[in-house]
Chain A
């Protein structure tokens, strides 16, 4: 589940970045006409950035989404960390 979501985000990000770069932004090549000055889809650069962000967000998703262990333990919060499992710093 978690791996699936992360993988989808990663591939989706790569695809979005590639499509917006090559197909949606202003065409590449010598700018010999006005069509080279306009993106084919307004806001294509924003989509490209979104794609790049998705690629890296997949790492966050992979780490943060809890393992799909059905319902016995809801996602734990740090409050629930058993005291004494680790002790805070003694210095300072």
Chain B
């Protein structure tokens, strides 16, 4: 059984947020739900400032507080380490969300409409899509995965349930990389089996010193960062995130 993990090289990240977009397209996530998010930080006081970037996927913790508190076992950790959400069992109590120190959970506050990028009911659109609306939806997102066959992939399923980064389980099970990793133009994101000594992630971790986000919370994340340093008290975002439904 592989032990999946991610390594993020902060020295390479330029904060372009291609990973954020790739995630949204791949997983069909509702408006303002950023399963992958990139902090753009500024440290220090002018003129002694430093701008840097921190991608924040779900950390897929080994001691996941969200899985611990889930009252019905909708949030659970797979044997390969992917922390998954069973959207068919979730009751929408959002306890996972308050328990998570990283703020990676997103709740479907309304019925996901599918109109995330443009208004598909626009009559001008029909001739352009050859009359095909609603648009293409990746059928893999509706498949069941894992030995216990639970539907854990993709977003925008229904209102009133929680969703979050799945490490793109529908791609990983096919042997592909998560969408954010594949789409990073600077190869700042790496994904693979931490137990396989020849994997890229294991090699990177062996060569370089690494750190993990909020280790003091005892969550033992599966996402390792190399280069850079953890955000400090004086780190503040350059622009306030305004994505609110």
Q: Which residues of A contact B (CB under 8 A)?
A: 26, 30-34, 36-39
Complex alpha-carbon distance, A36 and B75, angstroms: 10
Mostly, the B contact residues are loop
Among A30, A32, A34, A37, which residue has its beta carbon within 8 angstroms of that of B70? A37
**Which residues of chain A come closer than 8 Å to B76, judged between CB atoms?**
31, 34, 36-37
Q: Can you name 8 extra interface pairs (CB under 8 A) apart from A31-B76, A34-B147?
A: A26-B73, A31-B67, A34-B77, A34-B146, A36-B73, A36-B77, A37-B86, A39-B73
**Which residues of chain A come closer than 8 Å to B67, judged between CB atoms?**
31, 36-37
**Quick one: which of B66-81 are within 8 Å of A by CB?**
67-68, 70, 73-79
Among B63, B75, B79, B86, which residue has its beta carbon within 8 angstroms of that of A33? B79
Q: List 21 A-B contacts (CB under 8 A).
A: A26-B73, A30-B68, A31-B68, A31-B77, A32-B62, A32-B77, A33-B77, A33-B79, A34-B77, A34-B78, A34-B147, A34-B148, A36-B67, A36-B73, A36-B77, A37-B67, A37-B74, A37-B75, A38-B73, A38-B148, A39-B73
Decide yes or no whether B64 CB sits under 8 A from chain A: yes
A30 to chain B, nearest CB (A): 6
Complex alpha-carbon distance, A22 and B75, angstroms: 21
Total count of chain B residues near the partner, CB < 8 A: 17
B68 touches A34 (CB 8 A): no
**Which residues of chain B come closer than 8 Å to A30, judged between CB atoms?**
63, 68
**Chain B residue at minimum C-beta to C-beta distance from A32:** B77
Q: Which are the 10 A-B pairs with shortest beta-carbon distances?
A: A37-B73, A37-B76, A31-B67, A34-B76, A33-B79, A34-B148, A31-B77, A30-B63, A31-B68, A38-B73
**Quick one: which of B17-74 are within 8 Å of A by CB?**
62-64, 67-68, 70, 73-74
Among A26, A34, A38, A39, which residue has its beta carbon within 8 angstroms of that of B79? A34
**Which residues of chain A come closer than 8 Å to B79, judged between CB atoms?**
33-34
**Chain A residue at minimum C-beta to C-beta distance from B1:** A33
**Quick one: which of B118-173 are within 8 Å of A by CB?**
146-148
Complex alpha-carbon distance, A39 and B70, angstroms: 13
**Which residues of chain A come closer than 8 Å to B86, judged between CB atoms?**
37
B58 to chain A, nearest CB (A): 15
B78 touches A33 (CB 8 A): yes
**Chain B residue at minimum C-beta to C-beta distance from A31:** B67
A36 to chain B, nearest CB (A): 7
B78 touches A31 (CB 8 A): no
Complex alpha-carbon distance, A31 and B67, angstroms: 6
**Which residues of chain B come closer than 8 Å to A36, judged between CB atoms?**
67, 73, 76-77
Complex alpha-carbon distance, A39 and B76, angstroms: 13
Complex alpha-carbon distance, A75 and B44, angstroms: 85
**Which residues of chain A come closer than 8 Å to B74, judged between CB atoms?**
37
A73 to chain B, nearest CB (A): 50
**Which residues of chain B come closer than 8 Å to A34, judged between CB atoms?**
76-79, 146-148
